[in-house]
Structure 1
Amino acid sequence: MRHDMDPAEQQYWLDQVAYLVDELDPVPAGLVERAQFAVAIEDIDAEVELEAALWLDQRSLVGVRGGGPGTITFFVGDLTVMVNVTRTGECHRIDGWLVPAGEHGVEVRVADHETSSTTADEGGRFVLTEVPRGTTQILIRMNGGRPRTVVTPTVVL
């Protein structure tokens, strides 16, 4: 910008740039809601390792949306979360396994729905039978030597 512009002229050009950005590169639909959902974690001091998380879809997610079972594996630091997702009517059944195994707390959060909670058994297995469809995160409350909370990346089921 020229330094000799008056504030009104500067504002005019800034408004023009903002308009072009909105027209040429708009915010994707639902992005704000997904971001708010991803940040809405009850424990502010939770160890959230989203940046380090890698997830591997061992079957096409199209199968999950299509009603057949699908397996997704999340690697978050030293934790592995494997879930098998099976559509049951308007909901999903989630069968999951945690490594390292243990009686860890498991929450499945789906945007605009109540949280589903359970505790994994000593072998790390957990089941949730009525999980709604939608933008989903799994939150694991690790017990044992280093208690912490881990959150998987967000996926749409």
Structure 2
Amino acid sequence: MSEMSREDLLDVVRRVYEERDPVPEGLVARMQAAAALEASDIDGELLGLMELVERSEELVGARGTATYTLRFVHGDTDLLVRVAVDDGRSRIDGWVVPPEPMTVRAGEHAATVTDTGRFELTGLPLGLLRLSLEPHDIARPAFSTPTFEI
């Protein structure tokens, strides 16, 4: 039995991976979009970026609604968001702790945080999303979450 060259062996490995473990459809486009979004966020360093500290998924509901919870932290501000996805649209219910007057933006959607720290964003399209938090106190700088996918 003859030995395979390095190139022939790598070719076999490549073919096996392409056949048995292909790149998921749309992954390359989603990653390119995420990279473009990150690159286009010139103010990212100035805004301050929250840190994702927890993610939990809940059981799928009877109607096929998928929900999950994300928790972000920036300094002394804690942000908890519950994302629900149903029929291609999503809803975010969020809580800012400690509560403070601010506007939360997700693309063209915006909500004002109540005096209890709660806000909601409805009718959000599926895809990549970043929440920007803009305190009404102009002395306090805005900050945002890392980009996440709904």
**TM class by shorter-chain length?**
0.5 to 0.7
Are the counterparts in 2 of residues 141 and 150 from structure 1 also a CA contact under 8 Å? Answer: yes
Per-residue CA distance 1:74-107 (angstroms, 9 max, x = gap):
1122221111111232111111000121221100
Runs of 4 or more above 6 Å deviation: none
Instruction: Tell me the distance in 2 between the aligned counterparts of 1:92 and 1:67.
Output: 9
Q: 1:35 to 1:145 in 2, by over 3 A?
A: same
What TM-score does the superposition give when structure 2 sets the normalisation length?
0.67
Are the counterparts in 1 of residues 52 and 70 from structure 2 also a CA contact under 8 Å? Answer: no
Q: Structure 1 stretches of 5 or more lacking a match?
A: 1-27, 110-114
**Secondary structure of 2:129's partner?**
strand
Per-residue CA distance 1:93-140 (angstroms, 9 max, x = gap):
11100012122110013xxxxx21111111110011111110111110
1:32: which partner in 2? 32
Are the counterparts in 2 of residues 55 and 74 from structure 1 also a CA contact under 8 Å? Answer: yes
Task: Quote how far apart the aligned CAs of 1:41 are.
Answer: 4.0
Please, what is the CA RMSD of the aligned residues?
2.8
Are the counterparts in 2 of residues 49 and 77 from structure 1 also a CA contact under 8 Å? Answer: no
Q: Structure 2 stretches of 5 or more lacking a match?
A: 1-26
Q: 1:39 to 1:151 in 2, by over 3 A?
A: farther
What TM-score does the superposition give when structure 1 sets the normalisation length?
0.65
The alignment-based identity, stated in percent, is 24
Are the counterparts in 1 of residues 93 and 120 from structure 2 also a CA contact under 8 Å? Answer: yes
1:148: which partner in 2? 141
1:131 is the counterpart of 2:130: no
**Secondary structure of 2:37's partner?**
helix
Q: How many residues align?
A: 122
Task: Report the more deviating stretch, 125-134 or 140-149.
Answer: 140-149
